[in-house]
Amino acid sequence: MLRALFLENLHPAAREIFAAAGIDVVTRTGAMDEDELIAALDGVQILGIRSKTNVTARVVESAPDLVAIGAFCIGTNQIDLASAAQHGVAVFNAPFSNTRSVVEIAIADIIALTRRLTEFDRSMHDGVWNKSATGAHEIRGRTLGIIGYGNIGTQLSVLAENLGMSVVFYDTAEKLALGNARRMATLDELLETADVVTLHVDGRSGNAGLFGAEQMARMKPGAVLLNLSRGFVVDVDALRANITSGHISGAAIDVFPTEPKKRGDSFESDLRGLPNVILTPHTGGSTEEAQEAIGHFVANKLRDYLSTGSTTLSVNLPNLALEQTSGVGRVAHLHRNTPGVLAAVNQTLAAHGTNIEGQLLATRGDLGYVVTDVSDEVTQEVVDALRAMDQTVRLRVLG
């Protein structure tokens, strides 16, 4: 029986899907450090995590039984994707399932900061009636600047326009503007234009420190800042200084450079206690609806990979969309992408009298993935011969 390890409170839907597929699931709360994870992966074929567990090259190299990793979240920067690929470990994530949840919390944060609801709420809880319109504004007619115009940025763009905001955006890649949104030629141009700046960039290393003192200085006086992307993107010290000085009138921060491993752990940040600052514990995509959708999406991708070899939407392996085998067996051969591999696979099958019913090949960088349906039972001799090929990374035989 295949075994799976689920960490970080994954939605029960994922476990139900695995149980229905006959996969034994072990669940642990919270994240694990490197040594804990290596020990826990002994005899485990599938790992399910969220954003707190780092799957390093050492973890991958120390887990020879590991076949696939499911990142039950958007990002995969917590996983060494190159090492996973070189060891034949497929990685799947959920790039779209919590988009709406992040967009909705962004809209809520924008309204709360622009109306200074956090300060009114604090005064009321302190027993002070502080009715005033000073510093409180409608978002209608104000300009939203979106940095990173991907799945979240584009949907936020549409909803913000529907609320009466003007939208400008900046992205390093060419993106089609939706509605009346306008693309800014430079980041500085966006910062000088926007009343609200919101960050929706990915976890690539080049985005570390993207938003620091220089960028904050270029923001309009009294503008607000949202970071719902990655904790290492914003310089927290610079943000504190700009909030304290009043140059930035408010901020909503959902992600932090260092985050606790599990619920209930203590949280420390220099942003605590600042006026008109909303701090949330990395819950931008954490709605019950989003977590259920993610649980279904990633678990189904993992199940399909294990049963059919399908790598559709894998973030690190060549992508092949596959259904159930049309023959007696299926041979999934992940290999280094060098000339002659396909011919060698077919020659090996022919030499052992194995008839091919269908075959698909895809490549991605230095990796190739060929899946062959055969009309005969795949013998141990065939398996041994294919595994012995110099280019073989991982061979799986599926019934």
Cα–Cα distance for residue pair 291/148, rounded to 1 Å = 23
Kindly name the residue from 87, 142, 230, 335 that is annotated as catalytic.
Answer: 230
Helix (H, G, I), strand (E, B) or coil at 212: coil
Determine the pLDDT at residue 325: 73
Q: Is 259 a catalytic residue?
A: yes
Kindly name the residue from 16, 61, 189, 259 that is annotated as catalytic.
Answer: 259
Tens of pLDDT, residues 38-64: 999 999 999 999 988 999 999 999 999
Tokens of 26: 């072990």
Kindly name the residue from 11, 142, 240, 282 that is annotated as catalytic.
Answer: 282
pLDDT for residue 204 is more than 90: no
- The amino acid occupying position 136 is A
Q: b/e string for 290-313 if b means 16 or more Cβ within 10 A?
A: bbebbbbbbbbbbbbbbbbbbbee
Q: Where are the beta strands (DSSP E) in the chain?
A: 3-6, 24-27, 46-49, 68-71, 90-92, 143-147, 166-170, 182-183, 196-199, 223-227, 248-253, 277-279, 329-336, 356-364, 367-374, 392-398
Helical axes 117-125 vs 99-114, angle rounded to 10°: 70
Cα–Cα distance for residue pair 100/182, rounded to 1 Å = 22
- The residue-averaged pLDDT of 174-189 equals 96
Cα–Cα distance for residue pair 185/97, rounded to 1 Å = 30
Domains and CATH numbers, the chain: 1-97+289-316 (3.40.50.720), 99-279 (3.40.50.720), 318-399 (3.30.70.260)
Tens of pLDDT, residues 72-115: 998 898 999 999 999 999 999 998 888 999 999 999 999 999 99
Q: What Cα–Cα distance (Å) separates residue 93 from each residue in 48, 206, 292, 298, 333? A: 10, 21, 14, 6, 22
Q: Is 247 a catalytic residue?
A: no
Q: How confident is the model at residue 327 (pLDDT cuts 50, 70, 90)?
A: low
- The alpha helices in 163-313, defined as continuous H runs, are 187-193, 213-218, 236-245, 288-308
Q: Is 230 a catalytic residue?
A: yes
pLDDT for residue 326 is more than 70: no
Q: How confident is the model at residue 300 (pLDDT cuts 50, 70, 90)?
A: very high
Cα–Cα distance for residue pair 284/102, rounded to 1 Å = 5
Which has the higher per-residue pLDDT, 153 or 376? 153
| DSSP state, residue 53 | -
What percentage of the chain reaches a pLDDT higher than 70?
Answer: 99
Q: What Cα–Cα distance (Å) separates residue 213 from each residue in 146, 225, 235? A: 18, 13, 7
Of the listed ranges 86-100, 175-189, 317-331, 351-365, the one predicted with least confidence: 317-331
What pTM value is reported for the model?
Answer: 0.83
Determine the pLDDT at residue 96: 86
Tens of pLDDT, residues 142-176: 999 999 999 999 999 999 999 999 999 999 999 99
